[in-house]
Structure 1
Amino acid sequence: MLKRIHHTAIICSDYEVSKQFYIQTLGLKVVAENYRAHRDSYKLDLALPDGGQIELFSFPNAPKRPDTPEAQGLRHLAFVVDSVEDSKRELESKGIDVEPIRVDEYTGRAFTFFKDPDGLPLELYQEHQQDD
């Protein structure tokens, strides 16, 4: 029945800062950008290379997200990359704090975490298992 995730929706606190982060820092492509005056809200559709999308929303006075990944709800958003090490280095060169690289004890694949401007945990996950 289900084939893949079509999109993930994110509500940000500062639209321009988050827009720049997802476009300039992460390199996502703009599909559409709309301002909905009746809601005083922007909706920005961003394309991932595999066809999936992120919908970036702004809403006035949106409540803050619980600050721990163990809170109920979305725990984190993970992106597949060719090389976690190379991606980590690229993000750090852009001033993004990235956690040390770890290896998944079950899959043997490298992964690490960083945060978007609102503190949403984002993960880089190695596409293929690292060679020993």
Structure 2
Amino acid sequence: MIGSFKVDDPRLPPEVEALLTPQEKAEFEEWKRAQQQAVAREKLAAVLDTLDGVMTRSCMALDIGAGTVEDPARIWDLIDALERSMTRAGHERPPRPRGRPVYTVVYTEDDFSALDTLPDFIPPEKKKAPQSGA
């Protein structure tokens, strides 16, 4: 071993670089580029792993009025871009059934369990009394 370096450093330390031949430096640069591309690819793969969950929670948030979208036009553009990317990756959109479209719930009641932990801001005097079942 002639030296060490940090993986995220873009260059070799000067004392190590001085010991290498031009060919070894070129080999290192090629290896470093390949390593950086592999790390970037892994990070993007991790983003894809969260895509379903992020989109589901986004639908939930919009459906319950949890907030607003800052730039709706940008989101629509990204949805169009995602559709094109899915098609290029070989994930064709499934055919739509004939007839009136059915609204598909993309989340379940269990997804709302997190909302149970939110505080109740309604003052007691404003709450309606429970109705009896008689």
Say whether the fold is shared (TM-score over 0.5): no
TM-score by length of 2: 0.23
Q: In terms of Rg, which structure is larger?
A: 2
Structure in which a larger fraction of residues adopt helix: 2
TM-score by length of 1: 0.23
